[in-house]
A and B are shown apart, each in its own frame.
Chain A
Amino acid sequence: SQQGEEDPQALSIQEGENATMNCSYKTSINNLQWYRQNSGRGLVHLILIRSNEREKHSGRLRVTLDTSKKSSSLLITASRAADTASYFCATDKESKAAGNKLTFGGGTRVLVKP
């Protein structure tokens, strides 16, 4: 099973509304990241939150992290049609090698209707 699991799997909202999606994970992490993917394209990094942080903002994005519940949420405020995309959380998983590797959840598909 995957380390990160997003909820809901799909979300449909009107332009101007807020969109909230959640991510749960199973094992301890160093940090958690959120990525966005437009249809048929690669993923783009949005924001990283470290395990010792509880909340982080970037423009219209707000991310929270609750390590006691092993969960994170991504809030997009005042959504726009251009926010239509899939959103993935990713958690790091240290390997014996130097390079940390991320494990991605299944994603939340967000549709923002104009």
Chain B
Amino acid sequence: DVKVTQSSRYLVKRTGEKVFLECVQDMDHENMFWYRQDPGLGLRLIYFSYDVKMKEKGDIPEGYSVSREKKERFSLILESASTNQTSMYLCASSGGVSGNTIYFGEGSWLTVV
């Protein structure tokens, strides 16, 4: 089974802090994604990566950056966390024999106070 692991399930950070959300997948997928999910707004794509060191902005990249130094790992970085970034963050991956099917991690609940 494909496994997408997000390092932290629950985080509480202060406004202005730098926050790292880490994600690892074990299926050698080329594509990795970061979404945020908010009530009434569904899932919105922040960034995605289609190869090591390659990234592309999603629909809401402002306030975020990403890093993909290794194929299995995709990190989301909040350079200076703000309260409007309080949300659930979902990492996902796709590629190889799974084609367009996306496999999600369990999510990271981030609260910025």
Chain B contact residue count (CB 8 A cutoff):
30
B42/A107 in contact, CB under 8 A: yes
Distance in angstroms between the alpha carbons of A55 and B75 in the assembled complex: 38
- Where chain B touches its partner, the secondary structure class is strand
Bitwise, A24-44 to B at CB < 8 A (1) or not (0) is: 000000110101000011111
- Inter-chain contacts of A104 with B (CB < 8 A): 35, 42-43
A33/B100 in contact, CB under 8 A: yes
Distance in angstroms between the alpha carbons of A84 and B103 in the assembled complex: 20
Q: Which of A11-19, A58-66, A67-75, A92-100 contacts B (4 or more CB under 8 A)?
A: A92-100
Q: A48-B100, A99-B50 are in contact. Are A43 and B42 (CB under 8 A)?
A: no
Chain A contact residue count (CB 8 A cutoff):
28
- Inter-chain contacts of A99 with B (CB < 8 A): 30-31, 48-50, 94-95
- Inter-chain contacts of B56 with A (CB < 8 A): 95-97, 101
Distance in angstroms between the alpha carbons of A102 and B48 in the assembled complex: 10
- Inter-chain contacts of B106 with A (CB < 8 A): 41-42
Query: Which residues from chain B sit less than 8 Å from chain A, CB to CB?
Result: 4, 30-31, 33, 35, 40-43, 45, 48-51, 54, 56, 58-59, 90, 92, 94-95, 100-107
Query: Which residues from chain A sit less than 8 Å from chain B, CB to CB?
Result: 2, 30-31, 33, 35, 40-45, 48, 88, 90, 92, 95-107
Q: List 24 A-B contacts (CB under 8 A).
A: A2-B42, A33-B100, A33-B101, A33-B102, A42-B105, A43-B90, A45-B102, A88-B42, A88-B43, A97-B54, A98-B50, A99-B48, A99-B50, A99-B95, A100-B100, A101-B31, A101-B33, A101-B56, A102-B45, A102-B100, A103-B45, A103-B59, A105-B42, A106-B41
